[in-house]
Each structure stands twice: as structure tokens, then as C-alpha cells.
């Protein structure tokens, strides 16, 4: 399937057969490094494990260095984890190293990789300073560039992330966009006309996802009939989670907000089908898998015009876009969708049409495997800063 999303990004899909000339059918040994200080349940980690599955299905041997795979005594230790990753490289002697972020564990390995040439596919879901306010210092940006520049090729998930990475000085010809896919799940019988209107929020409860602004916006909906479901991991930032839950207990929202937590995919898909609107007020999205999934389920979107979301949602067509932190704008668009059933139905149809043009996981896996095989087969070249 030729993907409209890729055409908009100027991305040319590679061979549909799933095998490139660089390796043919030869089985590769791949070391996939995605090491963090805890076991995350984010969309980025879900993507990584889906790509591990695709590599396995393509016949490649993949060894994963992850929080749960390292010895328990060094979990959460940057020093221990760093040398564990380096030792795994030395022992495994892979044909290809795939690295997803892992900055705080990279210094010994990065120094080693400056001397020993391995084909490396570096993965950037988003630059981490978008997770907090205040941006990043010049020194921090130089450090991140140093880590990423060891990549023979750099995978990114959207044009927005590609521009972000290029702004660090990473050469454009090393950056390759393969957008995430999503599962085209079966939807239950249509029931979105039922009251109350259900506003769904999907994502880790944290300042970047900004569930607090969503609740403040919902507090302005007055006596309208609605409920809010906030799905996602509540353990990443417990202080922020408590702040959000206190907001939900205010008089204007009491009894209308539910926190189901992090749910299995089957339950998540069911709730997409039972909801009326997706509210994604994240200050930054490298892609927005929850947005794509919700659009497949036919949900109108109210989201921030930040990061890659405008690459998925056109304002006034599949939903509405607001500036980050804009409580009044969010309230206005939620009110319009709640009050205007015909508008909800129209945007629902548009959202579903748009989602049908996006990649499935099968297509994403195929393209990612091709990129990995090309990376392993291409000649190493020195990365020079890109002049923009």
C-alpha cells in the first residue's frame, strides 16, 4: 500500500519484498540497545518491541539490552548498565547495533564505537527536552548530537522529528523516516450517540502529556453531559499524577473523571470504540500513535498543534488543533463537539478515512527491516555537521 503519510513527508518506501540486496537472506546478528533506568510502558518502547518482532520474523537474530534483561543488581545503575551494554557488544559481536536513545548509558560504548566501526542504526523517537519546560542547554544539545552522530543511519518517526534531529547538525542524508504503524483493530457496534459523551485521553500521566490542562478545560464545560477517561501509566511522575487527581476532585468535575491506569491493548481498543472524542493535549509528540488509533476508531481529535500531530490531523477536518496549554481554546472545541452531533459524525468519517491511509504495523515492520538491512550493508562514513 502506498502511504499518503509518507508521500507528504517526501519519503520513498523501499523494496516491498522486505529483503534488500545488502544482506539478501543472510541471517544477521543484531544487538538492540534500549536501556533505561526503569521499565517504561511508553509508545516508544511499544514501537521498539514491535520492530524486534519484525526483525525476528525476517529471520534475524536479535539480542535485546533492556531494563528487564540486565542483571537485577545493576538495574537502575548508569555505570553498571553502561559497562553491561559495552560488554554485550564485545561478546555478541553483532552485524548491526540498533540504539534507541539510552544516552545516559552510552559514554563507554560511544567511546568504543569511535575506535571500532560497527554499522549502527540510531533511533530517535523525540528529543527528550520536549518532556520538560525550559528546553536544553547548548552543552546538552552538543552531547546528544555526539551520541546520535555515531549512527550510520538515524531512524525517526516523522518529519517533525527529522527536522528536530537535523537542527542538531546531523546530516540529512543519514536521517530516514519510517512512521509507526497501528493495529487495525475490530470495533464494537457503534454507540457513540449515547450519553454522556466520553472524552478519552491516552498516554503516560506526565507534564508533557498535560492532562492537567485537559481537566481545567473540561471544568469549563458547565452542565454538559460528559465523562473523561484518563488512560496511562501513573507511576512515571507521581507528584504530577496526584496534582491531576486533585484537579479531578474539584466540584465542577467530581464524579466525571475516571483513571483506569495502563490497560492491555484489548481493553484500550474497546474503549476507543466506546468513546466520542480523543483529547491529546501533549506539548510535543514525535508521532502520536494514540491519535492514529483513535482516528481509526473514528474519533474526532482535539490536540495540540505541536510536534508531528499536524502531520496527522488537519484543523477543522479530522478535529481541532490548539496551542499547548490553551485551556480556553480546548474548552471551546470540546463544547462545539459535544453540542454538535452532526459535526462529530462528520469529523468521525474524516478521521477514519485519514487513518486508512496510514501505515499498519506490518508495513512499518517491513520498512524498518529494510532500513536495518541497508544500514548493516552500507559503508561507514564520517558524520559532519549539517549546515541549515
* CATH (residue range 197-355): 3.40.50.2000
Q: Collapsing DSSP states into helix, strand and coil, what is residue 329? A: helix
Q: What pairing do the DSSP bridges indicate for beta strands 61-65 and 96-100?
A: unpaired
Task: Please report where in the chains the cell 533492556 appears, as a residue.
Answer: 66
Q: Collapsing DSSP states into helix, strand and coil, what is residue 385? A: coil
- Name the residue ranges covered by the structural domains of the chain: 4-181+361-377, 197-355
Find out whether 322 and 333 touch, Cβ atoms under 8 Å.
yes
Q: Do domains 4-181+361-377 and 197-355 have the same CATH topology?
A: yes
| Residue 182 Cα distances to 79, 271, 350, angstroms | 36, 16, 18
Rounded to whole angstroms, how far apart are CA atoms 18 and 20? 7
pTM of the predicted protein model: 0.82
Task: Please report where in the chains the cell 464494537 appears, as a residue.
Answer: 188
Torsion region of 264: left, alpha or beta (phi above 0 gives left; psi -120 to 50 gives alpha): beta
Find out whether 232 and 261 touch, Cβ atoms under 8 Å.
yes
Q: What pairing do the DSSP bridges indicate for beta strands 301-304 and 277-280?
A: parallel
pLDDT in tens, the chain (388 residues): 333 333 333 333 343 333 333 344 568 999 999 887 767 666 788 899 999 999 999 999 999 988 888 888 888 888 888 898 899 899 989 999 999 988 888 888 889 888 888 899 999 998 888 766 667 889 999 999 999 999 999 999 999 999 999 999 999 999 999 999 998 998 866 655 567 999 999 999 999 999 999 999 999 999 999 999 999 999 989 999 999 999 999 999 999 999 999 899 899 999 999 999 999 999 999 999 999 999 999 999 999 999 999 999 999 999 999 999 999 999 999 999 999 999 999 999 999 999 999 999 999 999 999 999 999 985 333 333 333 3
Rounded to whole angstroms, how far apart are CA atoms 126 and 166? 12
Superfamily name and number for 4-181+361-377: Glycogen Phosphorylase B; (3.40.50.2000)
| Residue 167 Cα distances to 106, 140, 164, 308, 385, angstroms | 21, 13, 5, 16, 9
Amino acid at each position: 500500500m502506498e502511504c499518503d503519510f509518507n508521500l507528504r513527508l517526501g519519503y520513498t518506501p523501499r523494496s516491498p519484498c522486505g529483503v534488500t540486496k545488502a544482506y539478501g537472506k543472510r541471517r544477521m546478528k543484531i544487538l538492540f540497545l534500549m536501556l533505561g533506568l526503569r521499565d517504561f510502558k511508553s509508545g516508544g518502547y511499544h514501537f521498539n518491541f514491535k520492530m524486534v518482532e519484525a526483525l525476528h520474523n525476517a529471520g534475524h537474530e536479535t539480542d535485546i539490552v533492556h531494563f528487564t534483561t540486565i542483571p537485577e543488581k545493576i538495574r537502575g545503575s548508569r555505570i553498571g548498565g553502561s559497562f553491561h551494554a559495552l560488554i554485550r557488544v564485545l561478546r555478541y559481536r553483532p552485524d548491526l547495533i540498533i540504539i534507541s536513545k539510552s544516552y545516559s548509558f552510552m559514554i563507554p560504548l560511544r567511546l568504543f564505537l569511535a575506535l571500532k566501526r560497527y554499522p549502527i542504526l540510531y533511533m530517535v523517537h523525540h528529543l527528550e527536552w520536549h518532556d520538560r519546560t525550559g528546553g536544553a542547554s547548548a552543552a546538552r544539545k552538543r552531547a546528544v548530537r555526539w551520541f546520535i552522530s555515531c549512527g550510520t543511519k538515524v531512524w525517526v518517526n516523522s518529519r517533525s522529528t527529522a527536522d528536530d534531529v537535523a537542527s542538531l547538525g546531523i546530516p540529512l542524508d543519514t536521517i530516514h523516516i519510517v512512521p509507526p504503524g497501528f493495529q487495525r483493530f475490530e470495533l464494537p457496534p457503534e454507540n457513540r450517540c449515547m450519553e454522556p459523551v466520553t472524552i478519552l485521553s491516552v498516554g503516560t500521566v506526565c507534564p508533557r502529556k498535560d492532562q492537567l490542562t485537559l481537566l481545567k478545560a473540561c471544568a469549563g464545560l458547565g452542565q454538559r453531559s460528559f465523562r473523561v477517561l484518563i488512560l496511562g501509566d501513573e507511576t512515571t511522575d507521581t507528584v504530577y499524577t496526584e496534582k491531576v487527581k486533585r484537579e479531578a476532585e474539584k466540584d465542577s468535575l467530581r464524579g466525571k473523571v475516571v483513571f483506569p491506569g495502563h490497560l492491555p491493548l484489548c481493553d484500550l481498543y474497546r474503549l476507543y470504540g466506546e468513546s466520542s472524542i480523543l483529547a491529546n493535549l501533549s506539548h510535543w509528540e514525535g508521532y502520536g500513535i494514540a491519535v492514529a488509533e483513535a482516528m481509526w476508531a473514528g474519533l474526532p481529535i482535539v490536540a495540540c498543534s505541536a510536534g508531528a500531530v499536524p502531520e496527522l490531523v488537519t484543523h477543522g477536518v479530522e478535529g481541532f488543533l490548539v496551542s499547548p496549554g490553551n485551556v480556553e481554546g480546548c474548552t471551546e472545541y470540546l463544547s462545539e463537539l459535544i453540542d454538535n452531533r452532526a459535526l462529530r459524525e462528520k469529523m468521525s468519517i474524516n478521521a477514519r478515512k485519514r487513518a486508512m491511509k496510514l501505515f499498519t504495523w506490518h508495513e512499518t515492520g517491513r520498512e524498518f527491516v529494510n532500513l536495518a538491512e541497508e544500514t548493516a550493508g552500507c559503508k561507514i562514513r564520517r558524520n559532519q555537521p549539517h549546515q541549515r
